[in-house]
Amino acid sequence: MNMRLEKQIDFIAESDDLKTVLRKTSPIHDKRKENTAEHSWQVAIAAMALAEHANEPIDIFRVVKMLLLHDFGEIDAGDTFHYSKVPNSEQCEREAQGAERIFNFLPQEQKEEWLSLWKEFEARETPDARFAAAMDRMVPMILNFRSNGGTWKEFGIVASQVIERNKHIKEGSDSLWTYALQLIEKSTAKGFFADAPS
Amino acid sequence: MNMRLEKQIDFIAESDDLKTVLRKTSPIHDKRKENTAEHSWQVAIAAMALAEHANEPIDIFRVVKMLLLHDFGEIDAGDTFHYSKVPNSEQCEREAQGAERIFNFLPQEQKEEWLSLWKEFEARETPDARFAAAMDRMVPMILNFRSNGGTWKEFGIVASQVIERNKHIKEGSDSLWTYALQLIEKSTAKGFFADAPS
């Protein structure tokens, strides 16, 4: 038996569970919550469509790979709501352990490459990671805006929270952040946000 | 307003409906049917993990792109069961029209690139398309095998049908086809297939 192939197939089967991790966001024309696997597909598609808007030169294949695997830590750790109050460091630690476990199914040099891309995404210190992170934040904003406020409305989010938690889009793409601010402005006009506490 | 960006965002929002197209296969640890968006994510992951098994030199980024967009025709046409008796040409025509409509949301030169990749996948005449098609067939076999027969059992499929409908995996990867034949043999032993009509 081909042991490398066996390991790779085990890895594919193991990562299938990403389809069972539910996020807070819903698809535009569906009431159910989306799962992390379809979200990963969508942010990769967004990167391919929007690559020209990156602030810096990027390697778009690295960005796509990063986005396809950026949430593998959630297979063990689950999704954390972007506006949750759980200390970020605890969730990060759980996700890092999860990523380590799942990539461990791969042959050694593949494990190292995938884990390294996963860490690069988390650290957001390279042009590729900054643009990938912008995609990861931009797409849920589009979904919320196109589904009458979506999770913003459902969870009583205020506009300033959305700005605060998504402003790093600007590090990856100025033009997308300009677009995001217009979305937030239109969403405020449409009453998608809760009132700011006075 | 940036018209190119506006078109690209519309494209991303429009393709969100791929999450609502249900396939026949289920995730390994879930009873629901998977949708085409999460399937697209998984075959792209599989291509990245299994690239070394391609029969011919491939451009793995082209393969990944192709796989992420290979089912865009289904947004309008729906999924057709791999063992369905609907004439293939009718479904192909509906999917081609669907792909044309959806890619039309993109700026012209992007539309041309994406539609061309979509057609290349369908035609299965290049090394990249042959390997991509092998991924598209290999992954559902892994899911069926790991969920006690899955759709094979549910729909009374016989082993010879699985061989007939998946044998083009061999065009993309001899070693994966060898692996697939072993899966089919084990599945027969486990009673996952219906008896062949006598």
Task: Give residue B13's pLDDT.
Answer: 98
Please tell me whether the overall predicted TM-score, pTM, comes out greater than 0.90 for this model. yes
pLDDT over threshold 80, residue A84:
no
Instruction: For an interface test with A, give the residue of B3, B6, B8, B9 to mutate (most A CBs within 10 A).
Output: B9
Instruction: List pLDDT tens digits, range A170-183.
Output: 999 999 999 999 99
Q: Hey, how many other C-beta atoms are within 10 angstroms of the C-beta on B88?
A: 10
Q: Which residues contact B64 (CB under 8 A, 6 or more apart)?
A: A61, A64, A65, A68, B44, B47, B48
Cα–Cα distance for residue pair B197/B124, rounded to 1 Å: 31
* Interchain proximity A49–B5, CB inside 8 Å: no
> What residues of chain A lie within 8 A of the CB of B60, using their CB?
61
Instruction: List pLDDT tens digits, range A53-82.
Output: 999 999 999 999 999 999 999 888 887 777
pLDDT over threshold 90, residue A99:
yes
Task: Give residue B147's pLDDT.
Answer: 96
Closest chain B CA to residue A30: B20
Task: Give residue A1's pLDDT.
Answer: 53
User: Averaged over A29-53, what is the pLDDT?
Assistant: 97
- Cβ-based contacts under 8 A for chains A and B: 132
The average confidence (pLDDT) of chain A is: 94
Task: Give residue B148's pLDDT.
Answer: 95
Task: Give residue B3's pLDDT.
Answer: 92
**Higher per-residue pLDDT: A132 or A84:** A132
Task: Give residue A2's pLDDT.
Answer: 86
> What residues of chain B lie within 8 A of the CB of A29, using their CB?
16-17, 20
Task: Give residue B38's pLDDT.
Answer: 98
Dihedral angle over CA of A24, A30, A36, A38, nearest 10:
-160
Helical (H) or strand (E) element with B124: none
Task: Give residue B25's pLDDT.
Answer: 96
Task: Give residue A155's pLDDT.
Answer: 94
Q: In Å, how far is B143's CA from the nearest CA of chain A?
A: 7
Q: What is the DSSP string of chain A?
A: --HHHHHHHHHHHHHGGGGG-B-S---TT-SSPPBHHHHHHHHHHHHHHHGGG-SS---HHHHHHHHHHTTTTHHHH----TT--S-HHHHHHHHHHHHHHHHTTS-HHHHHHHHHHHHHHHHT-SHHHHHHHHHHHHHHHHHHHHTTTHHHHHTT-BHHHHHHHHTTHHHH-HHHHHHHHHHHHHHHHTT-SBPPP-
Q: In Å, how far is A29's CA from the nearest CA of chain B?
A: 7
Task: Give residue B80's pLDDT.
Answer: 77
Q: In Å, how far is A118's CA from the nearest CA of chain B?
A: 14
Task: Give residue B1's pLDDT.
Answer: 54
pLDDT over threshold 70, residue A100:
yes
Instruction: For an interface test with B, give the residue of A8, A9, A177 to mutate (most B CBs within 10 A).
Output: A9
* Interchain proximity B106–A19, CB inside 8 Å: no
**Assign residue B27 a region: left if phi > 0, alpha if psi is -120 to 50, beta otherwise?**
beta
Instruction: List pLDDT tens digits, range B134-177.
Output: 999 999 999 999 999 999 999 999 999 999 999 999 999 999 99
* Interchain proximity B40–A41, CB inside 8 Å: yes
Task: Give residue B59's pLDDT.
Answer: 98
User: Averaged over A25-44, what is the pLDDT?
Assistant: 97
Residues of chain B with pLDDT below 70 are 1, 85-87, 198
